[in-house]
Amino acid sequence: MEKSSQILVVEDDVMNSRLLTTILTRLGYTVETAFDGINGLEKVEASPPDLILLDLNLPRMDGYEVARRLKEADKTKIIPIVVVSSFAEVENRIKAFEAGADDFLSKPVDQVELRARVQSLLKVKMFNDHMVNYQKILEAEVDKRTLELRQTFEELKIAFDKIKQVSLDTTFRLAQAAESKDGETGGHIKRIGYYSTALARVMGLPAEDIDIILYAAPMHDIGKIGVPDRILLKPGPLDVEEWKIMKLHTVIGGRILANSDSYVIKMGEQIALTHHEKWDGSGYPNGLKGSQIPLWGRIVAIVDVFDALISNRPYKKAFPIDQSLEILKKDTGTHFDPEVSETFFSIQEEILSILREYEDPFPKKDDH
């Protein structure tokens, strides 16, 4: 029988702690509780959980400091932290994310939202555990093959490829889990990967990078896991405070993918952090300008905007392809790297071919 995920609830209010415990237990999780910050850290040290629900207003040590200490320690830094607090102001949310929180839920907690967020972050934890163990698994496999001597080089290559395929499949599934929060389909994930691969190939990048960007580019918006649905799915423009939270998806995505030894995940981290930076320095989160922006981020920036323009979103209808291409041309040199933009338009027919091949199953618009 598969072992249930372990969740630690750090909450000083007895009634709130019992409520969360009841909800999570009914969902099949094993729940441990702590009633102050110090006790919470002690329980994590004694038996690291798969996920932590953390209040901010705690005795002896507040939730901000608990989160900081957990994210600083190698043993606990990959454990997802969901802050559950009545301090729902934007400033508190930002401070919580800066301290290391991976998500934020406001009290009183909606049970459906709690279940969805917990499930999403447990998937992230599973993925991070896999990547932490990836190098050890690979080394053990190589040692085993070396000792056995009877195995051929081709058998070693097959074993490596199988492990790699598991990692890449997990990457696609996690990327789609994030994108599906705002209604995106698997088609969008695949298109971003293949658009980016086509650009990288024509720009003459190394073969290894061309292969890897296919899997790293779809992780560009994995940080949307940490953005509330009320913002992602809002049918109209975001207000100033909502926009501040929305922009945090780049930082959250970078944090999710940080500290990995995998080149795929390292490239994904760069892309998640920088695909909303702009050539003229007016982008976010860090206002990088020109070549300060990693090339991967510059490539994904233009293909992501193109695919967003030609797709339906909660806040807009899909634009025709011709109009979308004109917008890209107009923003070349301000939003987009001129060299990357020139390459994009030089392979316009290949881009449109990818769009047709991986088009979403339901018609989005009349391209004419």
CATH code, domain carrying 260 = 1.10.3210.10
Q: pLDDT category, 161, cuts 50, 70, 90?
A: low
CB atoms within 10 A of CB 259: 14
Distance from chain centroid for Cα 264: 13
Residue 304: the pLDDT is 95
pLDDT tens digits, 163-181: 566 556 666 666 666 665 5
User: 186 and 90, same structural domain?
Assistant: no
Q: pTM (2 decimals)?
A: 0.54
In a domain, 127, yes or no: no
pLDDT tens digits, 92-109: 899 999 999 999 999 999
Task: Count up the domains in the chain and report the number.
Answer: 2
In a domain, 318, yes or no: yes
User: 197 and 66, same structural domain?
Assistant: no
Cα-based distances in Å from 171 to 120, 175, 178, 288, 289: 14, 6, 11, 27, 29
Check which CATH number belongs to the domain holding 20 and give it.
3.40.50.2300
In a domain, 148, yes or no: no
The more confident residue out of 305 and 150 is 305
Domain boundary among 109, 140, 175: 109
Residue 178: the pLDDT is 61
Judging by DSSP bridges, how do beta strands 51-54 and 30-34 pair with one another? unpaired
User: 349 and 203, same structural domain?
Assistant: yes
Q: How far apart are CA 313 and CA 167, in angstroms?
A: 29
pLDDT tens digits, 267-296: 999 999 999 999 999 999 999 999 999 999
In a domain, 149, yes or no: no
Rama region for 47: left / alpha / beta (φ>0; ψ in -120 to 50; rest): beta
Whether 17 and 34 have beta carbons less than 8 Å apart is answered as: no
pLDDT over 70 (residue 258) = yes
- CA-nearest of 72, 91, 78, 79 to 54 is 79
Q: What is the mean pLDDT of residues 197-201?
A: 97
pLDDT over 70 (residue 148) = no
Write the single-letter amino acid at 181. K
Domain boundary among 63, 88, 109: 109
User: 264 and 191, same structural domain?
Assistant: yes
Q: How far apart are CA 187 and CA 203, in angstroms?
A: 24
In a domain, 84, yes or no: yes
pLDDT over 90 (residue 319) = yes
Lowest mean pLDDT among 45-59, 97-111, 114-128, 159-173: 159-173
In a domain, 131, yes or no: no
Q: What is the DSSP string of 77-145?
A: TTS-EEEEES--SHHHHHHHHHHT-SEEEESSPPHHHHHHHHHHHHHHHHHHHHHHHHHHHHHHHHHHH
Q: What is the mean pLDDT of residues 148-154?
A: 60
In a domain, 159, yes or no: no
Q: pLDDT category, 317, cuts 50, 70, 90?
A: confident
pLDDT over 90 (residue 61) = yes
Average pLDDT of the chain to the nearest whole number = 86
Whether 172 and 127 have beta carbons less than 8 Å apart is answered as: no
Q: What is the mean pLDDT of residues 67-85?
A: 92
Domain boundary among 109, 135, 155: 109
In a domain, 124, yes or no: no
Lowest mean pLDDT among 40-44, 80-84, 262-266, 302-306: 262-266
Taking only Cα atoms into account, the Rg of the chain, rounded to an integer number of angstroms, comes to 22
Residue 180: the pLDDT is 58
Residue 126: the pLDDT is 81
User: 63 and 191, same structural domain?
Assistant: no
- Residue 24's domain comprises 6-109
What is the DSSP-derived secondary structure letter of residue 76?
A: T
